[in-house]
Amino acid sequence: MIVGDGMLAKACERWKDDFGVLIFASGVSNPHCKEHEEFMREFELIQNCRKEVIPDILLVYFSTTAVEDPKRVGSPYALHKLNMEYYIENHFKNYLILRLPVVVGPDMNSHTFVSKFREWIKEEKRFTVQSNVVRELLDVENLVKFIEDRIAESRYGSFSINGIPTTPCDVAIILEGIMKKPAMFAQEGITKMQVKDLLEKYHV
C-alpha cells in the first residue's frame, strides 16, 4: 500500500497492492517548513494509518539526514522528523525508517536546491555559491533497490544513507550539468568541472 502521490510514491508503485507493506510517502518534504499545521497533518495521517492497517504491516518511512547534522538538527523540520521517528518506533512493530539526503529523479521535490538551481538557470538569474561545496545526491532507483533488499532480507529498523549508493557532487558541477546550459554564478576558488551521469539521466 502507498500513501502519497509524489516522486517517491510513484517510484514505489510495485508495493501498491501489497497489503503487508505500507509506503508512507506523504510526509512534510520541505526542509524549510515551520508550519505547525503541516507537521500535525503528517502526524495525524500516520496515526490514522496505524488504526487502519494490520498490526504486523511493515511501515516504510522517509526521514531526513538533517536529524544527524549538528547545524540542522535544531530546525523545526528536523525536530518534527525526529518526533515522527520516535512515534513510529513506539507504535509500529515492523518499520523501516530511512534518513535521506536529496533524492534525484523525475518529478523531484521542488524545494530541493537542485530544483532551485534549475529554476534560476532557466530564468537566467545571477546568484552566488560557495566554492568546493559537496552534496550527496541519492538516485531514486537506488533507494527503491535498497528498500527491496531490506524487505527481502527482513532487515527492518532505522537506516541512514550509509549503505545506499549516493553520488557526491560539487555544487559547481551540478550547475554546469543542469539543463546543459551555462549558469551565471559567482564563486571563489577553482573547482574541477565534469558532468555527472545522475544529472544527465533525469535531464535536470
Lowest-confidence pick of 26-30, 36-40, 95-99, 107-111: 107-111
Q: What is the mean pLDDT of residues 24-29?
A: 91
Kindly give the residue spans of alpha helices, DSSP state H, lying in the chain. 7-11, 36-52, 76-91, 113-122, 140-152, 171-177, 197-201
For residues 67 and 21, what is the distance between their CA atoms, to the nearest angstrom?
Answer: 25
Please tell me which residue, 177 or 88, carries the higher pLDDT value: 88
Other Cβ atoms within 10 Å of 34 Cβ, number: 11
The CATH number of 2-201, from 3.40.50.720, 3.30.300.30, 3.30.70.1450, 3.30.70.260, is 3.40.50.720
Residue 153 pLDDT: 82
Going from N- to C-terminal start, the domains of the chain cover 2-201
Residue 19 has pLDDT above 80, yes or no: yes
Residue 204: band (very low, low, confident or very high) from pLDDT cuts 50, 70, 90: very low
Report pLDDT for 167. 61
Q: Please give the residue that has the higher pLDDT: either 145 or 130.
A: 145
Residue-level pLDDT at 166: 63
Cα angle 31, 166, 181; round to 5? 75
CA 134, CA 172: separation in Å to the nearest integer?
Answer: 9
pTM: 0.76
